[in-house]
């Protein structure tokens, strides 16, 4: 199981007066598997209902939304013991809940009238449904987003939990043993090819078969295309496809700022904004917004017309770019592909999964339009912290030096292939340690 999310589920189960748990995220990030596996170990049984596979279930929600009646009627359809659910001995799982908006609305009544029921709901296109829902039970659910596996979860999934534990045990900002640093850098190269989609990671862990990984990634992308055609308004589908396919080319440019004109000649923002929002709500892309003035809160100072667009997963991006397996196995070519775009995508993905600190996965970068100077990411962590991504071992950071002179930030971070260290007040972290960012910043500031 994903140990990071297992902690989230364990805390939810133990919380007095728990609300129903609502889990959203892109298709094939492992939502159903995680809930099913957790339920099988933490409860006497799992009462699973899939609203996409069993559309007749929606009829149960056509009447009143009294939780006791719903449990009793659902038990007749799905053949489970309602007493176990009402007593909290079994967990009730609503899967693909976006297919039944009334089931989403019912979560409010489970929260208010039946808090003893352990109810978890998940959906692949839940973000799209919630964005248009008129009766979302705000404040009545515990909402979480499941992202692709981070590099640290990849270590767990590929039999290197010992390396993960060494990272979790870091208690000072000092170089790691060279053997450990080399092993983690090798794992990083693999992750840039495989990515964090659970099925791709599983195939790689079992067979180390790059061709099998590519086939799985192709199947995932094909499933996303089917979602475009099946769930998006017909008028959006061609624009969704063009936006999705443009991401590798957009990131390959020296200035990675997203240009609508690069999607299609003469295209304007208003022609594609609805399609871009759909991709965001489906969890398939992340936008990083530009700031010219790095002030808190970052969301209040960003320019929403200027942004970079990242895919949800570095492995899917590498597949779209047809990155060959040999590239990850020899030298540092993988870190320099597309002018470092693969590396920047990697960092964006780790930050988007960030659940600690003050930022909660939102992405921002800094750009001085007059000079073209740019910092890859700005992070809220006790202030505005600049983070520059270095594709190789080159330690020079002219943009970061310029930013530090101009704004005197409380800390500054450079992520690359170098070992962990502090140089002249600059925190250097290996790329594989980006998920440790908040803890490393605290260690840097500790006496």
Boundary of a domain, candidates 120, 145, 170: 145
125 and 201 housed in the same domain: no
What is the rounded distance in angstroms from the CA atom of residue 230 to the CA atom of residue 226?
Answer: 6
Indicate if 366 and 243 belong to the same structural domain: yes
Mean pLDDT of 104-120: 96
Residues 128 and 223 in one domain: no
Residue 356 to residues 10, 350, 359, 366: CA-CA distances in angstroms? Answer: 17, 12, 8, 22
Q: What is the CATH number of the domain that holds 120?
A: 3.40.50.300
Q: Decide: pTM greater than 0.95.
A: no
Mean residue pLDDT across the chain: 90
What residues are paired with 285 via a beta bridge?
311
Q: Which two tokens stand for residue 77?
A: 């359809």
Same domain, 96 and 173: no
Same domain, 100 and 141: yes
**In terms of domains, do 199 and 301 share one?**
yes
Q: Same domain for 92 and 180?
A: no
Quote the tokens at residue 131: 């964005």
Residue with tokens 């208010």: 112
User: Which of 110, 145, 180 is where one domain is finished?
Assistant: 145
Indicate the residue among 98, 120, 145 that finishes a domain.
145
Work out the number of other CB atoms within 10 angstroms of the CB of residue 3.
11
Q: Per the structure, how many domains does the chain have? A: 2
The residue ranking higher by pLDDT, 135 or 297, is 297
21-24 and 45-50: which strand pairing?
unpaired
What average pLDDT does the segment 53-72 reach? 95
If asked whether residues 136 and 162 sit together in one domain, one would say no
Partners of 374 in beta bridges: 367
pLDDT in tens, 14-54: 998 899 999 999 999 999 999 999 999 999 999 999 999 99
Judgement on whether residues 399 and 297 belong to the same structural domain of the protein: yes
pLDDT tens digits, residue range 83-104? 999 999 999 999 999 999 999 9
22 and 136, same domain (yes or no): yes
Query: For residue 71, what are the domain limits?
Result: 3-145
pLDDT in tens, 209-257: 999 999 999 999 999 999 999 889 999 999 999 999 999 888 888 788 8
DSSP assignment, residue 354? -
Looking at the fold, whether 122 and 42 belong to one and the same domain comes out as yes
Q: What is the model's pLDDT at position 358?
A: 43
Let me know whether 266 and 342 are in one domain: yes
């Amino acid at each position: 199981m994903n140990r990071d999310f297992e902690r989230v589920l364990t805390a939810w189960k133990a919380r007095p007066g728990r609300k129903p748990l609502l889990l959203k995220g892109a298709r094939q990030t492992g939502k159903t598997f995680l809930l099913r596996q957790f339920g099988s170990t933490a409860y006497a049984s799992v009462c699973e209902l899939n609203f996409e596979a069993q559309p007749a279930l929606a009829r149960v929600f056509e009447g009143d939304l009294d939780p006791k009646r719903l449990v009793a009627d659902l038990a007749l359809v799905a053949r489970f013991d309602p007493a176990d659910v009402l007593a909290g001995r079994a967990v009730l799982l609503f899967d693909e809940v976006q297919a039944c908006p009334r089931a989403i609305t019912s979560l409010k009544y489970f929260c208010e009238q039946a808090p003893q029921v352990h109810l978890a709901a998940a959906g692949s296109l839940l973000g799209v449904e919630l964005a248009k829902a008129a009766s979302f039970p705000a404040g009545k659910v515990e909402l979480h987003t499941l992202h692709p596996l981070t590099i640290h979860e990849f270590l767990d999934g590929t039999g290197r939990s010992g390396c993960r534990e060494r990272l979790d045990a870091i208690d000072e900002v000092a170089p790691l043993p060279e053997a450990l640093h080399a092993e983690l850098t090798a794992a990083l190269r693999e992750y840039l090819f495989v990515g964090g989609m659970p099925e791709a990671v599983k195939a790689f862990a079992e067979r180390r078969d790059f061709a099998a990984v590519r086939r799985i990634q192709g199947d995932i992308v094909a499933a996303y295309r089917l979602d475009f055609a099946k769930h998006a308004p017909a008028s959006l589908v061609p624009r969704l496809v063009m936006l999705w396919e443009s991401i590798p080319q957009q990131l390959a440019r020296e200035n990675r700022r997203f240009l609508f004109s690069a999607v299609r000649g003469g295209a304007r923002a208003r022609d594609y904004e609805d399609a871009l929002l759909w991709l965001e709500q489906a969890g398939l892309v992340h936008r990083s917004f530009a700031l010219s003035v790095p002030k808190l809160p970052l969301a209040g100072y960003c320019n929403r017309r200027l942004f970079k667009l990242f895919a949800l997963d570095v492995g899917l991006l590498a597949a779209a770019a047809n990155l060959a397996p040999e590239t990850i196995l020899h030298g540092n070519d993988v870190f320099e592909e597309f002018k470092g775009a693969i590396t920047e995508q990697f960092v964006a993905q780790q930050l988007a999964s960030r659940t600690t600190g003050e930022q909660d996965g939102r992405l921002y970068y800094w750009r001085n339009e007059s000079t073209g100077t740019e910092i890859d990411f700005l992070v809220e962590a006790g202030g505005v912290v600049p983070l520059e991504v270095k594709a190789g071992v080159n330690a020079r950071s002219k943009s970061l030096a310029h930013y530090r002179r101009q704004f005197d930030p409380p800390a500054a971070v450079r992520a690359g292939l170098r070992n962990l260290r502090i140089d002249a007040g600059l925190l250097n972290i290996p790329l594989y340690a980006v998920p440790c960012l908040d803890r490393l910043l605290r260690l840097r500031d500790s006496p």
